[in-house]
Amino acid sequence: MTEFCRERRGEIRRRLKVLVVKVGSNILTAADGGLSSRAFSRIARQIRELRENGVRVVLVSSGAIAAGRERIGLGRKPLSLAQKQAAASAGQTALMGQWEKAFRRHDMTVAQILLTPADIVDRERFTNLERTVETLLSLGILPIVNENDAVATFEIRFGDNDRLSAYVAGLVRAQCLLLLSDVAYLYTSDPRVDPSARPLPCVSRIDSRIERMAGLSRSGLGTGGMSSKVGTALWANGWGLPVGVLKGDLTRGIVRFFEGRTGTLFDTPRPLPSNRKIWIGHFSRPRGDLYLDAGAVIAIRTGRTSLLGAGVTHASGEFAAGETVSLRDSSGEEIARGIVRKGVREIAPKGEGLLVHLNDLVLSDSSLHE
Ligand code: GLU
């Protein structure tokens, strides 16, 4: 590992106040498919240690479907979507039971939070959730998050907990996200079939070469795999969150990761914005578009001005005041997103007044690369 990579990890560790740890199904299950209480204790011990060292942790745990299969007598057969949802409902209580037991030994109380994407996209639910998690953390309680598989429909799912954990990291404005799984590193190729495969300890930019490498590695039980981890890292790095991937069954894996002794760090030079800006720029769904004239595009790209009605040539979509919209140049390229102060019907071309305040505005990638 390069000196720079080791230093970066040390720097992230020193700044760490809130950490999100995501644990995959593969490392919570034993060879017979049941939950492995040793795996739970190993992780609980590490989280307790982090807490003693002043780091607040939010845990995102998979494993409900894996735990529920046995419970509802479905063994290892391929499951339909409805069966998976039923297995998750039955398995979630077993999963939480194991976490409760593991953390009780360390005098830690746990709380369960089950989420669907709708809870993140909606501003009011998002802020409620933020307040709940903040309250739990300030009471010294460990929030344990999973997808609410019973209600999530096929179209509206996080799909895998890698993505969900990045949303949670944005919600709590974590300084780092760690994905614990059965793979130790991102490798240059699949180490099981290619003896020349090399582990990559630091990835400072995710490009198509890195994505190709990720496609070569596989993983068994969970829905994730390395591709999903790299996809999540690419997205999260985009708004300033460093992401680590490491093996989840190491005794002091998390400490060793920050010491630069294991795992792959997907790093980003971007500073972490407020969670409100993360929500506007990356979590909310734009309801419409505002097309800007050339002068307004230049002004907005400086990152220092609000959008006034005079800079807007036309608006499209169905949005009300208080919703998110995309700000686009005349060619249709998105240059920013922001919360608009007027509904679509109140906006006249080259009209008057404030449309998007600077505090409610987040530049898109195309603007940041200029
Ligand atoms: N929510 C699923 C479960 O708890 C896991 C999804 C995933 O594999 O990431 O079983």
Residue type, 368: L
Phi–psi pair at 58, nearest 5 degrees: -115, 130
Residue for token digits 């005349």? Answer: 330
Work out whether the CA dihedral 310, 315, 318, 322 comes out positive or negative: negative
* Polymer length in residues for the chain: 370
Compute how many other C-beta atoms are within 10 angstroms of the C-beta atom of residue 155.
6
Task: Determine the pLDDT at residue 126.
Answer: 96
- Ligand 1 site-directed mutation target among 60, 147, 162, 182, most atoms within 8 Å of CB: 147
Atom of ligand 1 nearest to the CA of 67: 10
CA of 325 to the centre of ligand 1 (A): 32
79 alpha-carbon distance from chain centroid: 26
What integer pLDDT is reported at residue 1 of this predicted model?
75
**In this structure, are residues 219 and 183 in contact, taking their beta carbons and an 8 Å threshold?**
yes
Q: Which atom of ligand 1 is nearest to the CA of 147?
A: 1
Q: 369 C-alpha vs ligand 1 centroid, how far in Å?
A: 35
Residue of 146, 157, 168 to mutate, ligand 1, most atoms within 8 A of C-beta: 146
In the block, which residue shows the tokens 């498919």? 33
- Distance (Å, rounded) from C-alpha 217 to C-alpha 274? 34
Going by CA atoms, what residue is nearest to atom 5 of ligand 1?
A: 62
**Amino acid type, 217:** S
Dihedral sign (CA 216, 220, 224, 226): negative
Alpha helices in 195-335 (DSSP H): 208-215, 225-238, 253-258, 275-278, 294-301
Residue 222 C-alpha to ligand 1 middle, in angstroms? 6
Does residue 65's CB lie within 6 angstroms of at least one atom of ligand 1?
yes
The CA distances from residue 357 to 16, 211, 287, 309, 337, in Å, are 31, 37, 17, 11, 11
How far is 215 from 212, CA to CA, in rounded Å?
5
Q: Which residues contact 292 (CB under 8 A, 6 or more apart)?
A: 300, 307, 311, 312, 313, 327, 328, 329, 330, 335
Cα distance between residue 24 and residue 164, in whole Å: 12
Furthest CA-CA distance within the chain:
67
Cβ–ligand 1 distance for 145 under 6 Å, the answer no
pLDDT of residue 223: 52
Pocket residue to mutate for ligand 1, from 85, 149, 151, 158, most atoms within 8 A of Cβ: 149
Would the CB of 92 count as within 6 Å of ligand 1?
no
Amino acid at 311: G
Pairing relation of β-strands 176-181 and 18-23?
A: parallel
What structural domains does the chain harbor?
3-277 (3.40.1160.10), 286-368 (2.30.130.10)
Tell me the C-alpha distance between 63 and 39, whole Å: 12
C-alpha to C-alpha distances, 331 to 290, 293, 324, 366, nearest whole angstrom: 12, 10, 20, 13
Query: What string of DSSP letters covers 8-40?
Result: HHHHHHHH-SEEEEEE-HHHHB-TTSSB-HHHH
Residue 77: strand, helix, or coil:
coil
Closest-CA residue, ligand 1 atom 7, reads 160
Kindly list the averaged pLDDT for each block of 10 residues, start to end, along the chain of length 370: 90 97 94 90 97 97 92 86 92 97 98 94 95 97 96 75 96 97 87 87 90 68 72 94 96 96 95 95 96 97 96 97 97 97 93 95 79
CA within 13 Å, CB half, 327: 36
